[in-house]
């Protein structure tokens, strides 16, 4: 399978996700004319806003692409949905429903497709299906160029009564077959953006509303973001989604139990409540109401923010058509929109004035490869992945968001004049988020660095804006100078490299924090517990000098 993605390396290395729900990802692009609407009572696994990490793979082979799924209630399969990244995924497409053993239960061909987005193809007659039985839905892409998310079925996907099986629950999931026919092969548990249209049995007669969501809480994560969380509702058939209301107006629907409301105004109070919705469209009563107030303007004058980092205003971007794995030395990518993960396997690569909808990295164990990233915007997306890393790189005036870790400097890197924030919300409750992780030989100078992802039970949430632990090697020879650390949702704003109990805790050396400014945040302490931890003034070469709170008060180190 020709899925070319850094996710094939980083996703599998970084994630070991528990089962989780499929969320309605806020801020995703909607395509004009997209076939989004389901008929009354119908449900699907993926919300209309879901997008594969790779909208169109470069593979042009004719191939059948499918997904294994089970249902918690009986009902009928009405059709199949699949995602098109663009016209190159040319049709017409054929969709099929199969038994687990490969008997074809239904087939239909697409008509009137849109250029891009989710397509819905209905069967001539609905097919009755049973609860707890494995089925396969697929579509035939005669020109390839399918959407894909490598590692998408490393964990189970669920929404309402539909479960997209984790690979291994009933053989591999994320299946394909070149030339068409019943798909049985797998490639790294890849989700090929194939979905099912399901009508639960008795849905038309379902008039029972779900219970009201309980325990809604809201907290300000920054001057522009408020995080919400609530407890699950119950329903006689199943919960399809939760509708989120701000100041009485519906702003989002999500299958998760958390939501991050972004793009808000600083120093402003907002009111929220949530309603549960089932597959038949029945709405619960409103949850308890809560209010929260955004923080003050988050970035003091002179520090990086969204307006002075990223792609310069006026830059005319054109689509990047080059390789996602760069092997040509001194290659230049300038003023491009890149819709893939860039893996750098060459020296002297330059990326500038570009929007990267993906990641940029050299691998941790690589030697001789290097890149410089300037005046660019990296959006790693809502997935467990590192935005920029890991060795021999320079990042200047870069706006980095998305992923569970924004930047990783394993060794030999410089990060300067950049804005790091907006990490993913991990609905599975397993990932630890952070802004920058430092290893050795890092220069981190004049950046705005925060971690503002919300906590998601049982274990997801921010560790700190800046981390550095001696798990695999000593944390050493790092300069952290003249940075701004706004308040974080994590425990601390920064770690100093000397966390106790790590294999290399006692080998930390030459960690220098000089002239940094720490915001108080909503906790009044920068992080929930404090501003700095695990900085040992007794380690050789360690320096703590002229670090202050925003008001100029001296900030002491924490050993």
pLDDT, one tens digit per residue, over 346-402 is: 999 999 999 999 999 999 999 999 999 999 999 999 899 999 999 999 999 999 999
> Which pLDDT score, from 0 to 100, does residue 236 have?
80
Residue 526 has pLDDT above 50, yes or no: yes
* Predicted confidence band of residue 457 (pLDDT cuts 50, 70, 90): confident
- Is a pLDDT exceeding 50 seen at residue 47? yes
Tens digit of pLDDT for each residue in 121-131?
A: 999 999 999 99
Question: Confidence band (pLDDT; 50, 70, 90) for 208?
Answer: confident
Q: What is the pTM of this model?
A: 0.56
How large is the average pLDDT for residues 425-442?
91
| Domain with 279 in it | 206-293
The larger pLDDT score, comparing residue 42 to residue 24, is at 42
Are residues 195 and 210 located together in one domain of the fold? no
Residue 344: phi and psi, rounded to 5, are -95, 115
Residues 558, 496: Cα–Cα separation, whole Å: 9
166 with 252, same domain: the answer is no
Predicted local confidence at residue 3, as pLDDT: 53
Peptide bond into 115 cis (omega under 30): no
Q: Which of 293, 328, 363 is the last residue of a domain?
A: 293
HEC string of 302-345 equals CCCCCCCCCCCCCCCCEECCCCCEECCCCCEEECEEECCCEEEC
What is the end-to-end Cα distance of the chain in Å, rounded?
50
206 φ, ψ (degrees, to nearest 5): -75, 110
**Are 189 and 225 contained in the same domain?**
no
- Do residue 351 and residue 424 come from a single domain? yes
Mean pLDDT of 47-57: 88
Q: pLDDT band for position 427 (50/70/90)?
A: confident
Distance CA 248, CA 234 (A): 23
Cβ neighbour number for residue 500 with a 10 Å cutoff? 9
d(CA 370, CA 256): 39
Of 474, 471, 483, 546, which is closest to residue 510 (Cα–Cα)? 474
Q: What is the pLDDT of residue 177?
A: 95
**The domain that contains 34 carries what CATH number?**
2.60.120
Same domain, 402 and 392: yes
pLDDT-above-90 percentage for the chain: 67
Same domain, 286 and 401: no
- Residue 28 pLDDT > 50, yes or no? no
pLDDT of residue 37: 56
* Location of structure tokens 């009933």: 170
For 378, the token pair is: 């990296």
Q: Looking at residue 236, which CATH number applies to its domain?
A: 2.60.40.10
Let me know whether 332 and 217 are in one domain. no
**Maximum distance among all Cα pairs of the chain, rounded to whole angstroms:** 75
Q: Is residue 309 part of a domain?
A: no
- Pick the last residue of a domain from 204, 235, 253: 204
Question: Looking at the domain assignment, is residue 259 inside a domain?
Answer: yes
Residues 183 and 211 in one domain: no
Residue 299 inside a domain? The answer is: no
Looking at per-residue confidence, does 461 or 457 come out higher? 461
| The pLDDT of residue 17 is above 60 | no
d(CA 402, CA 388): 11
Is pLDDT above 90 for 225?
no
Stretch 87-92: mean pLDDT, rounded?
89
Residue 131's pLDDT is 94
Round to whole Å and give the CA distance between 200 and 77: 9
In terms of domains, do 171 and 29 share one?
A: yes
Radius of gyration of the chain (CA): 24
Q: Is 188 a residue whose pLDDT tops 70?
A: yes
- Tokens of residue 83, six digits: 């995602």
Whether 11 has a pLDDT exceeding 50, the answer reads no
In tens, the pLDDT along 260-281 reads 888 888 778 899 999 998 877 7
9 — pLDDT class (breaks 50, 70, 90): very low
State the pLDDT at residue 103: 95
Q: What is the pLDDT of residue 14?
A: 32
The DSSP-derived string for 374-441 is: ES-EEE--SSS-EEEEEEEEEEES-EEE-SSEEEEEEEEEEEES-EE--PPP-TTS-PEEEEEEEEEE
Number of compact structural domains in the chain? 3
In this prediction, residue 50 carries a pLDDT of 85
Let me know if residue 558 belongs to a domain: no
Whether residue 376 is contained in a domain is answered as yes
61 and 138 assigned to the same domain: yes
- In this prediction, residue 442 carries a pLDDT of 97
From the list 352, 350, 348, 351, the residue with the least C-alpha distance to 329 is: 348
DSSP 100: T
Cβ neighbours for 118, distance < 8 A, ≥ 6 positions apart: 34, 35, 36, 46, 48, 81, 82, 83, 84, 195
DSSP line for 4-24: --THHHHHHHH--PPPEEPP-
Residue 545, Cβ density class (10 Å: 0-12 exposed, 13-18 middle, ≥19 buried)? exposed
H-run or E-run covering 195: strand 194-200
Question: Is the model's pLDDT at 523 over the cut of 50?
Answer: yes
Work out whether strand 75-84 and strand 194-200 pair parallel, antiparallel, or are unpaired: antiparallel
pLDDT for residue 15: 33
Pairing verdict, β 185-186 and 157-159: unpaired
SS3 264: coil
Q: Domain for residue 91, yes or no? A: yes
Domain boundary among 248, 278, 293: 293
Judgement on whether residues 436 and 510 belong to the same structural domain of the protein: yes
| CA 299 to chain CA mean position, Å | 24
Same domain, 263 and 325: no
List, in sequence order, every residue forming a beta bridge with 405; answer none if it has no partner: 386, 434
Beta strands in 29-187 (DSSP E): 63-71, 75-84, 94-99, 104-109, 117-129, 135-141, 157-159, 162-164, 175-178, 185-186
Is there a contact between 515 and 543 (Cβ–Cβ < 8 Å)? Answer: no
Residues 481-519 have pLDDT tens digits of 999 999 888 999 999 999 888 889 889 999 999 999 999
pLDDT, residue 551, reads: 86
Tens digits of per-residue pLDDT, 60-79? Answer: 999 999 999 999 999 999 99
With bands split at pLDDT 50, 70 and 90, how would you rate the model's confidence at 139? Answer: very high
> How wide is the angle at C-alpha 337 spanned by C-alphas 145 and 302, nearest 5°?
150
């Amino acid at each position: 399978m020709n899925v070319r993605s850094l996710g094939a390396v980083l996703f599998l290395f970084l994630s070991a996700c528990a089962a989780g729900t499929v969320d309605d990802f806020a801020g995703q692009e909607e395509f004009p004319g997209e076939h989004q609407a389901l008929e009354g009572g119908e449900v699907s696994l993926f919300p209309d806003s879901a997008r594969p990490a790779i909208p169109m793979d470069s593979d042009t082979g004719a191939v059948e692409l499918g997904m294994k799924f089970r249902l918690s209630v009986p009902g009928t399969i009405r059709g199949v949905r699949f995602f098109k990244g663009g016209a190159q995924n040319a049709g017409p497409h054929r969709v099929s429903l199969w038994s687990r053993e490969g008997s074809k239960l239904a087939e239909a061909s697409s008509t009137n497709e849109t250029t891009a987005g989710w397509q819905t193809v209905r069967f001539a007659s609905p097919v009755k299906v049973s609860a707890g039985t494995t089925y396969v839905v697929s579509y035939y892409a005669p020109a390839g160029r399918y959407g894909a998310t490598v590692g998408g079925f490393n964990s189970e996907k669920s929404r309402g009564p539909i479960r997209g099986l984790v690979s291994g629950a009933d053989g591999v999931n994320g299946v394909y077959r070149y030339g068409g026919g019943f798909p049985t092969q797998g490639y790294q548990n890849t989700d090929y953006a194939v979905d099912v249209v399901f009508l639960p049995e008795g849905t038309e007669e379902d008039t029972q509303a779900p219970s009201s969501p309980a325990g809604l809480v809201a907290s300000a994560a920054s001057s522009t973001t408020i995080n919400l969380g609530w407890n699950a509702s119950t329903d006689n058939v199943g919960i399809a989604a939760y509708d989120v209301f701000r100041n009485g107006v519906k702003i989002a629907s999500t299958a998760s139990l958390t939501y991050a409301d972004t793009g808000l105004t600083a120093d402003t109070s907002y009111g929220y409540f949530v309603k549960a919705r089932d597959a038949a469209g029945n709405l619960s009563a409103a949850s308890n109401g809560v209010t929260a107030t955004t923080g003050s303007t988050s970035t003091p004058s002179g520090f990086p923010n969204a307006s002075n980092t990223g792609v310069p205003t006026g830059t005319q971007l054109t689509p990047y058509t080059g390789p996602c794995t760069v092997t040509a030395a001194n290659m230049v990518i300038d003023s491009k929109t890149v819709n893939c993960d860039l893996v750098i396997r060459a020296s002297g690569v330059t990326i500038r004035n570009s929007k990267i909808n993906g990641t940029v990295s050299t691998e941790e164990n690589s030697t001789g490869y290097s890149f410089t990233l300037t005046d660019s915007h990296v959006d790693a997306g809502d997935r467990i992945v590192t935005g920029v890393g890991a060795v021999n790189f320079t990042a200047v005036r870069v706006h980095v968001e998305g992923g569970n870790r924004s930047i990783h400097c394993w060794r030999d890197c410089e990060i300067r004049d950049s804005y790091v924030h907006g990490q993913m919300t991990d609905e599975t409750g397993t990932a630890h988020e952070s802004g920058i992780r430092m290893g050795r030989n890092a220069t981190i100078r004049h950046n705005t660095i925060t971690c503002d992802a919300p906590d998601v039970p049982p274990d997801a949430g921010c560790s700190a804006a800046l981390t550095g632990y001696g798990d695999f090697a000593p944390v050493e020879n790092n300069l952290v100078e003249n940075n701004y650390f706004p308040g974080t949702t994590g425990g601390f704003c920064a770690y100093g490299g000397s966390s106790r109990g790590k294999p290399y805790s006692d080998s930390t050396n030459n960690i220098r924090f000089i002239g940094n400014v720490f915001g108080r945040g909503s906790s009044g302490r920068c992080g929930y517990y404090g501003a700095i931890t695990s900085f040992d003034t007794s380690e050789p070469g360690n320096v703590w000098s002229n670090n202050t709170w925003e008001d100029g008060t001296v900030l002491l180190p924490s050993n």
